[in-house]
Amino acid sequence: MIAVIDYGAGNLFSVCNALKYLDIPHSVTKDADEICRADAVILPGVGAFPAAMESLRATGLVDTIRENAQKKPLLGICLGMQMLFDRSDENGDCDGLGLIAGEVHRIPSDKVIIPHMGWNELVITQQSPLLEQIETPVYTYFVHSYQAFCDEKNIIAYCEYDGKIPALVTDGKFVFGAQYHPEKSGDKGLQMLRNFERMAK
Partner 1 sequence: MLAKRIVPCLDVRHGKVVKGVNFEGVKDVGDPVACAAEYNRQGADEIVFYDIVASHEGRGAFLDVVRETAKQVFVPLTVGGGISSVEDMRNTLRAGADKISINSSAVKNPQLISDGAEIFGSQCIVVGIDAKRDGRGGYTVYANGGRIDMHVDLLKWVTEIEQRGAGEICLNSIDTDGVRGGFDLEMLKAVCARVRIPVIASGGAGKLSDFATVFQETDATAALAASLFHFGELTIPQVKADCRSKGIAMR
Q: Which is nearer to partner 1, 18 or 130 (CB)?
A: 18
Closest distance of CB 69 from partner 1, Å:
26
* Residues 35-54, interacting with partner 1 (CB under 8 A): 46-47
CA angle 91, 150, 116 (to 5 degrees): 55
87 scored as a contact of partner 1 (CB under 8 A): no
Q: Which residue in 60, 108, 115, 163 binds partner 1 (CB under 8 A)?
A: 115
Q: Which is nearer to partner 1, 35 or 138 (CB)?
A: 138
- Show Cβ contacts of residue 86 under 8 Å, excluding neighbours closer than 6 positions: 95, 96, 98, 101, 102, 103
| Piece of the chain touching partner 1 by CB under 8 A; list 9-17, 26-34, 84-92, 95-103 | 9-17
CA distance 128 to 37: 25
CA angle 32, 79, 199 (to 5 degrees): 60
User: Is residue 134 exposed (0-12), middle (13-18) or buried (19+ Cβ within 10 Å)?
Assistant: middle
- Residue numbers of the site for partner 1 (CB under 8 A)? 10, 13-14, 17-18, 20-21, 46-47, 113, 115-121, 139, 141, 143, 160-161, 183-187, 189-190
